[in-house]
Structure 1
Amino acid sequence: MSFLNIISQVLLYFSVSVLVGSFILLLVPNRYRPDIHFSKRLMLISAIFIPVCAFFSVLDIVLYIAPRLGLMESFTLVLTSYTVGVAWSFTLLASIFLVLFIIFTYSTEKKSFAYIGTLLTLGIILTVAWSSHAGAMQPSLGIISDFIHLLAASVWVGILLIIALFSKNNQNWLAFLDWFSLVAFGCLTATFLSGIVMSDILTDGYVKSWTISYGQGLLVKHLFLLPVLFYALINGVIVKYKLRKDDRFNPLPWVRLESLLLFIIFAITAVYTQQAPQVSSLTNETISPLFRLFHGTIIDGVQSVGFAVNAYTVCFFFIALLFLGLMILTYKKASHLASFFFSCLFVLSAYIMLMVSVVLR
């Protein structure tokens, strides 16, 4: 079930992002965005996929307790008594309303369609946040922080995905980048602040969490944000400068690269959210296999995790800087695939630098 859960979470985040991005861009006047082909079919599929993908978390719990209570009784119990089951019921209800709404009222011209669609999608995001780890551990603060986190990420990723996949031309790119740069900055700020709150709820300490699989995923996700910020800066500043100098310049490949990295972050999130966010004590069974690669056998009873600079730290620090320089160089040469490749190597080098710097006390 774990693999299916991961795939379902990726598709869930993708579906939510498609809907959020589509409805927001439908609200934006044509003169402030490129011409876009809005797909009714994709919106319908996304709305249908949301409850289907969210159901896998419910099914996982049902199958876990079914050997003791029976399948139907377990299913009824989870839907009526477990937070994830009750939340999914509301996800299903809101998704049904959204599907029917898209089928019978779809319009790319009426703003009312986009407004109501946005509200229904916000309701769905709230139900997803309700069923999250943070929501289960601290109902009020956890749900609010997870809602803001998922909403901000969905707005950022969703707009980029729709623009990257369905733009018909390069018209109005300057006008689009003027307002989207501010939106992306706002989404980044909201994601950062809500992420801090969620980390405080879910982990015993950010660095200490690296010893378990949940924390490893969190670290890799944050490292991938660094190249995302690099390309966001390119799209928000340098691309705008080039468009003012040359209106034939095509910014779409760099927008696609940013959206690809953001989607990778969504995929990483789907993987680590399937892991337990906290463990009562560090043992050989609870330590992440990735962390053990760097530190061998872990002695039970480790109390804290810190840093110590060594020769390996310095070595991988300069390797990471090298790949950062290559990212900049390949941008200047307009080599998109090479830039993406060096972005991944930069993340890998930074990850190894941090792992070899960790000391256990």
Structure 2
Amino acid sequence: MIYVTETLLYICFCIITGAQILSLIPPDKRPSIEIPNWLIILCTAGIALLSFAPVFKIIDFFAKDFGESYWVIGKGVLLDFKMGHAWLYTLFFSFAVIFIRILRGSKKEPLVDIIGLIFTVGLIGAFGWASHCASNFAIKGFLTHSSHFLAVSVWIGILISVAWFSKDQQHWQTFFKWFSPVAWICVSVTMVAGLILMNFIVPEYLNAWMITYGQTLLIKHVLIIPLFVIAFMNGFLTKRKFLSNPNYDPKPWLRVESIMAIFVLSATSVMGQQNPPHELSIANTIKLTQPSSLFTRFNQLPADFIVKVGVNVWSIALILLAALLVATMLIVFVKRQKASLSVICMGLILAVVTYVAVMVSVI
């Protein structure tokens, strides 16, 4: 259940971020988008509620361990723990965004929307303050994690908003003119910040595959591959579609990209509830916890706890199959309009094939 709540939390962040940004974009630069005000308020309240789940997990642990009431332990966690402080900030910014949205109503008020966006960024900052990276690496961890999550929220938030809430076929070409570069800037920031986070939290990336956290991180990375393929299709190949058909409807493919992004967010939610191995070497971590069952299905634990990657017949065959899947996805996008479900299935198969190719290449 905690993984579901974390995934929903990420989706709520994306929806309110995308909605706040698009409310500031001129109508002639985007299709008509109608995101109900009640949905923004619900998502904001959802952030306050869902982000309390890990805090409650700590309260529940200490209440049972010390035999104290939840009220006493809860006050201590909220007032003395960094995660408790972060949730109080989250609560403040959530109330502020809800107040702004109620004040705004259905009217378009640029100043109110700007203030709402500022409070939304505050919510993202509060989320970054509660992260593992901020807890262990202070301000540099906080800034890196917050930048990473902000870039993801902007990219996926705008994507979800236009894919699922656009109401007409107007101004799609002008929308892509500004959204494509914004999306790729967000992707670049996400990748750079993600690599820095990995260096903080998982300095032994290959060796981390032997434990559950590392396996989850690997699964997230292989899910990113089909997401980037679909993002490439929507970002570059869509221009050819508009040249041949000015009335081309990109919504089905934008929805495919948003669905793949949610799969990546789901993998991220699983990682967020696991303890990263940044304080101990992987060898010492395995001595304290069980190795990943996924890793041991493919490989024996190395005697020296060092994972190396090589090339063999199976890995080459699977890499070629992955390349064939990518080519097929591109061909389907170019040749067919209504094949969204097929591309999602091929994307997931691509992720599985890539994962197996990585695991069989371990030596």
Q: Give the TM-score category using the shorter length.
A: over 0.9
Residue 285 (structure 1) aligned with residue 289 (structure 2): yes
Which segment drifts farther, 69-78 or 281-290?
Answer: 281-290
Matches of 1:10 and 1:224, distance apart in 2? 15
Does residue 330 (structure 1) correspond to residue 345 (structure 2)? The answer is no
Report percent identity of matched pairs. Answer: 30
Q: What count of residue pairs does the alignment treat as equivalent? A: 354
CA contact (8 A) 2:144 2:196 kept: yes
The Cα of 1:120 is off from its aligned counterpart by: 0.3
Residue 102 of structure 1 and its aligned partner are, at CA, apart by 1.1
The answer to whether the Cα contact below 8 Å between 1:106 and 1:113 also exists between their aligned partners in 2 is no
Which of 336, 341, 344 is the equivalent residue of 1:340? 344
- After superposition, the C-alpha distances for 1:250-292 in whole angstroms (9 at most, x for unaligned) are 1111111111111111111001211111054224833112112
Please give the alpha-carbon distance, in whole angstroms, between the structure 2 residues aligned to 1:224 and 1:15. Answer: 21
- In structure 1, the residue matched to 2:48 is 51
Residue number among 61, 65, 87 corresponding to 1:64 in the alignment: 61
Q: Which residue of 2 aligns with 1:25?
A: 22
Of the candidates 314, 317, 320, which is equivalent to residue 315 of structure 1?
A: 317
Counterpart CA distance in 1 for 2:80 and 2:73 is: 10
Query: RMSD in angstroms over aligned alpha carbons?
Result: 1.5
The whole-number CA distance in structure 2 between the counterparts of 1:134 and 1:220 is 20
Distance apart, 1:146 and its partner CA = 0.7
In the aligned structure 2, how far is the partner of 1:108 from the partner of 1:312?
59
Structure 1 unmatched ranges of 5 or more: none
CA separation in 2, counterparts of 1:192 and 1:267? 18
Deviations 1:126-170 (A, max 9, x none): 011000010111011110011001100000010010101111111
Q: Secondary structure at the match of 1:309?
A: coil
TM-aligned CA deviation for residue 108 of structure 1: 4.3
Q: 1:149 to 1:108 in 2, by over 3 A?
A: farther
Matching residue within 280, 304, 307 for 2:306 = 304
Give the letter for the 1:27 counterpart: L
Deviation at 1:107, TM superposition (A): 4.3
Amino acid at match of 1:322: L
Other structure's SS at 1:263 match: helix
Aligned to 1:100: 99
Partner of 2:253: 254
Query: How many angstroms does 1:322 deviate by?
Result: 2.3
How far apart are the structure 2 equivalents of 1:290 and 1:303?
A: 16
Q: CA deviation at 1:104?
A: 2.1
* TM-score, reference length from structure 2: 0.94
Native 8 Å contact 2:229 2:326 kept in 1: no
Deviates more, 1:92-101 or 1:176-185: 92-101
CA distance in structure 2 between the aligned counterparts of 1:130 and 1:118, rounded to whole angstroms:
18
- Greater than 4 Å deviation, 4+ residue runs: none
Which sits farther off after the overlay, 5-14 or 276-285? 276-285
Query: Which residue matches 2:215?
Result: 216
Q: Distance in 2 between matches of 1:358 and 1:76?
A: 48
TM norm structure 1? 0.94
> Within 2, Cα distance between the matches of 1:11 and 1:113?
26
The aligned counterpart of 1:228 is: 227
